Amino acid sequence: MKHRYLGSSGLKISEIAYGNWLTHGSQVESEAATACVHAALDAGITTFDTADVYANTVAETVLGEALAGQRRESFEIFTKVYWPTGPQGPNDVGLSRKHIMESINGSLRRLGTEYVDLYQAHRYDTETPLEETMQAFADVVRQGKALYIGVSEWTADQLRAGHALAKDLGVQLISNQPQYSMLWRVIEGEVVPASRELGVSQIVWSPIAQGVLTGKYRPGEQPPAGSRATDDKGGAKMIERFMNDDVLGAVQGLRPVAEELGLSMAQLAIAWVLQNDNVAAAIIGASRPEQVHENVKASGVEIPPGLMARIDEVLGDVVVRDPAMTERTAPAKRPV
């Protein structure tokens, strides 16, 4: 397993991180989830990403229990705050000082740790002054409850404003967590250039496009039983934008590229995002330990420029590149 620096900090993280969105506490039973976490540790993954909203806080509990007994200094735990949790009262959402302070305490309790390595704003809160949010994050860091701060799916302008405030407050905003894959490249035009300028890394989610880039979904065919595209707990909705024959047909054209490199389709997809030097880590999920063992083989893979160009040719215009999609897919106001 290779490790990379996160932003301009001295923190190193595994370039493949383990995340438990849409799995722990919902799709996967706790015993299987623990087996996947242990498989990640065995494979050299040191970075674990979660959020309080995943399975309405249950995912944090499952991850904490799976990591119990391990040497805390040997791995990095990331979590997030913004989306509604608990009974979803008026202050159970957003990036107000009240919600941040209450949420970090709940996350630490569920994770069974005194601190998280990275505390992330899960989205931008249009209803809270940014100064209030960043002051609260700075106080969380000064209290020793988080070592660094990050954000998720912020625009380039939002990153610049947040980074400037964090710097003034003496804390390090070092990461952004966006969706990024061969099919979804909206960060490349504006977010990545701004991040390079600021010393911010990307920790990317859905590098396999919710499973589409594995090639298991074929044009004109029904999704395999038990796959994410058939999941009624959130998986099917997240994947629907890619479930059309144009995209699925183009993805099948990647098979010769994967074969030439001696990789599976999933390994190719993960290796592809890691070719971007602004990406510190690709987050993978798993419902079985075998998936972890297979996906970590993407670490350290170098894709020659000629094959990178061929990937672009194969996918053509099915790739989404519009930088405006970062803001367009974000909540315009708090969800409750």
d(CA 218, CA 223): 8
d(CA 61, CA 224): 30
Please name the residue that has the structure tokens 């601190």.
115
Task: Compute CA 239 distance to the chain's CA centroid, rounded to the nearest angstrom.
Answer: 15
Active site residue 119: no
d(CA 205, CA 134): 24
Tokens of 159: 């990153």
**Listed residue (154, 315, 291) closest to 227, CA to CA:** 291
For residues 15 and 76, the answer to whether their CB atoms sit within 8 Å is no
Catalytic residue among 54, 82, 148, 217: 54
Cite the DSSP H helix spans in the chain: 30-42, 58-67, 97-111, 130-142, 156-169, 191-198, 235-239, 245-252, 255-261, 265-273, 289-295, 305-315, 325-328
- Catalytically active residues are 54
